[in-house]
Amino acid sequence: MSSKVETSRGRSVNVPPRDPSSVAQDDGRNAPPLLKRIARATFAPVDIAALVFFRIAFGALLTWEVCRYFAYGWIGRQWIEPQFLFKYYGFSWVHPWPGNGMYIHWGVMGVLAVFITAGFLYRFAVPLFFLLFTYSFLLDQALYLNHLYLVCLLAFLLSFMPANRAFSIDAWLWPRIRSQTAPAWTIWMLRLQMGIVYFYGGVAKISPDWLRGEPMRTWMARRTDFPVIGQFFREEWAVYLISYGGLLLDLLIVPFLLWRRTRAAAFIVAILFHVMNARMFQIGIFPWLGIAATAMFFPPDWPRRILHWLGDNKKRKPKKTAPPLPMMPRFSGIALALLALYAAVQLLVPLRHLLYPGRADWTYEGHRFSWRMKLHDRDARAKFYASDVDAWRTWEVKPRDFLRKLQISKMAARPDMILQFAHHLSEKLPRTGPNPLRVQAEVFSSLNGRKSQLLIDPNVNLAAEPRTLAHTPWILPLTEPLPKSRPTRKSKPTPSDTDEASAD
């Protein structure tokens, strides 16, 4: 039976098996022919060069990220100094290390990132880095960023990929693990993950506000100092060009990257898109991580071809060798099921906002983990009132007495975080009798230049409301219309690279 192998040009060719005994027998050998073809394509060997490139890029970027956290003092400000941290649902048991433990934690992550880059103790370094980074990610919901979530997912995927079998210290120390090929699924899972980010980022932009130029109109008005094209950022045609251009890029970039004839042009457009985002929003490593992941859509041997072209080897063509046969793992059926399960989760989770009534950018129900990036400009103010029913006393509680400035700005626009803070106040504030305190909140919020309106019902006792993943009935619907014309104003700039990133 012939097998399909991906060539350097990204095409599949039939290669007859030379020695059937060299192919490990699959437990699912009695599976239907279609499943067998899928399994052979999934585990077909492809050039490992692209996977090695991504390992190096990922490790280098995360090394840089760790250095930034130390250089800008984010570790202490984010996890040591705060009195209260907002928890993800189901992860209230995750707490920061005591003392200087968080500095040690991030120092270890920095060392592991260097190990990943160099391919040293890779099978130990990547899973441990995934666990440590995910632990930091889960510490405070106020620090949620899509690209931090993406780092967790990519580290998880790399934990199962043999990216250390070439151009690594591991391959030098242990020659028996050396290989010039990797299973095709490693490349396709990275493509899938980045493709999901692009696609759902585009789907989220199909919204009334985005199609009317908001919030890009506001953000562009703040960035008229952008090189060359910034002088046009107050023009309506420029606002709609960038708004609709971003939407179309997110929706169409993956098909154009998959088609060989448009792949190079699409990659150049993607680079320009990410570089422009880096200049306008200064969102840390995400643009560069996005470029590295987008490069995975090229044929797997593209790094080897570039090195060959850069070297003095133009006259000497690389040796042509017969491609190796697919090496089917013993439990290929289970492996296929797990890959399908991961893909299904990644495809379905971003759609969960459809289960909730109202707009996700207003209620924030189903907003996180859905690649809804840079979609809104929020302005919110929250006042909290505590009532001691035994003392017949009500007083206003200042959030700044408990939270950092960044936490307050995030919490004020997110009902689930408002609820968490209300529960915290009911537990920490003193009371005179046995009855629990009542906590109410008056929250006014503005979305994309609308007039401010109440976000939640101010009469609800939030301290008595349970925290749940179901719809929250005390969130009030968005009723204010988007203004026909939004006046340009001088307002606070988007966060700089030396500030803690605060954009979803």
Per-chain mean pLDDT for the chain = 88
The answer to whether the peptide bond before residue 33 is cis (omega within 30 degrees of 0) is: no
Q: Which of 36-40, 82-86, 124-128, 165-169 has the lowest mean pLDDT?
A: 36-40
The pLDDT, as a whole number, for residue 331 is 76
Q: Residue 462 pLDDT more than 90?
A: yes
pLDDT exceeding 90 applies to what percent of the chain? 77
pTM (two decimals): 0.88
At 133, give phi and psi (nearest 5°).
-70, -40
Over residues 89-102, the pLDDT tens digits come to: 999 999 999 999 99
Q: Which of 4-13, 150-159, 190-199, 305-314 has the lowest mean pLDDT?
A: 4-13
- What is 79-129 written as a DSSP string? IIS-S-----TT-TT--PPSTTHHHHHHHHHHHHHHHHHHTSSHHHHHHHH
CB environment 280-307: b (16+ within 10 A), e (fewer): bbbbbbbbbbbbbbbbbbbbbbbbbeee
Per the DSSP assignment, residues forming a β-bridge with 395 are 386
Domain ranges of the chain: 46-317+331-353, 377-464
The pLDDT, as a whole number, for residue 479 is 95
The pLDDT, as a whole number, for residue 113 is 98
The pLDDT, as a whole number, for residue 13 is 46
The pLDDT, as a whole number, for residue 18 is 41
Q: Residue 501 pLDDT more than 70?
A: no
pLDDT exceeding 70 applies to what percent of the chain? 86
Over residues 406-456, the pLDDT tens digits come to: 999 999 999 999 999 999 999 999 988 889 999 999 999 999 999 999 999
Taking alpha carbons only, the member of 500, 504, 495 closest to residue 79 is 500
Over residues 54-67, the pLDDT tens digits come to: 999 999 999 999 99
Using 50, 70 and 90 to split pLDDT, how confident is the model at 323? low
Using 50, 70 and 90 to split pLDDT, how confident is the model at 29? low
Over residues 140-186, the pLDDT tens digits come to: 999 999 999 999 999 999 999 999 999 999 999 999 999 999 999 99
The pLDDT, as a whole number, for residue 320 is 52
Query: What average pLDDT does range 347-361 have in this prediction?
Result: 95
Q: Residue 475 pLDDT more than 90?
A: yes
Instruction: State which amino acid sits at residue 17.
Output: P
Q: Residue 321 pLDDT more than 70?
A: no
Taking alpha carbons only, the member of 19, 41, 327 closest to residue 179 is 327
The Cα–Cα gap between 295 and 276 comes to 18
Strands 45-47 and 12-15: unpaired
| CB contact set of 259 (below 8 Å; sequence gap of 6+) | none
Greater pLDDT, 24 or 401: 401
The pLDDT, as a whole number, for residue 497 is 38
Greater pLDDT, 24 or 221: 221
Using 50, 70 and 90 to split pLDDT, how confident is the model at 502? very low
CB count within 10 Å of CB 25 equals: 11
Taking alpha carbons only, the member of 43, 55, 75, 52 closest to residue 126 is 55
The pLDDT, as a whole number, for residue 202 is 96
The pLDDT, as a whole number, for residue 484 is 79
Query: What average pLDDT does range 108-135 have in this prediction?
Result: 98
Q: Residue 488 pLDDT more than 70?
A: no
- Grouping H, G, I as helix, E, B as strand and the rest as coil, residue 442 is strand
Query: What average pLDDT does range 472-487 have in this prediction?
Result: 86
